[in-house]
Amino acid sequence: NLDLMMDEGQGDIQSGGGLRSLRYFGIARLPKLVGLPQWLQGTSNTLQHIAIEDCPNFTMLPEWLGNFTSLQKLWILESPKLTSLPDGMNGLSSLREIRIIQCPELTRRCQRKKGEDWHKIDRVPDIYLDSIKI
């Protein structure tokens, strides 16, 4: 499944015009997906929410994710092969919520003050690891 949400009247997605106003990008149950599509970079000024769910072979969030100045929510659910966050996470100045559920290694790396990736998300107000707010 792929879910997209954009402002009404912002162009035709087939011609690429609508992508500039994309606010929500959600993917679910895509076993062959290993990373985010390159075209998503064109939404770095408008995208507010990324949700990745039940993508068992999803292994990497790209460094360019740090350019998403409007991103407020990042949800990573049931994608156990994603084991670390990109260094560019510090560039996500609008990020207010991150949820990591059933991603054991990533959860371990994001533990408060002791995980290897904690410094990448320590300024995010709402952090949930396996449904527990930390």
Write the secondary structure of the chain as one string of H (helix), E (strand) and C (coil). CEEEEECCCCCCHHHCHHHHHEEEEEEECCCCCCECCHHHHHHCCCCCEEEEECCCCCCECCHHHHHCCCCCEEEEECCCCCCCCCHHHHHCCCCCEEEEECCHHHHHHCCCCCCCCHHHHCCCCEEEECCEEC
What does the pLDDT average to over 18-23?
75
- pLDDT (0 to 100) of residue 2: 54
Taking only the tens place, the pLDDT of each residue in 43-61 is: 999 999 999 999 999 999 9
Domain extent listing, the chain:
2-133
Q: Which CATH number fits domain 2-133: 3.40.470, 2.60.40, 2.30.29, 3.80.10?
A: 3.80.10
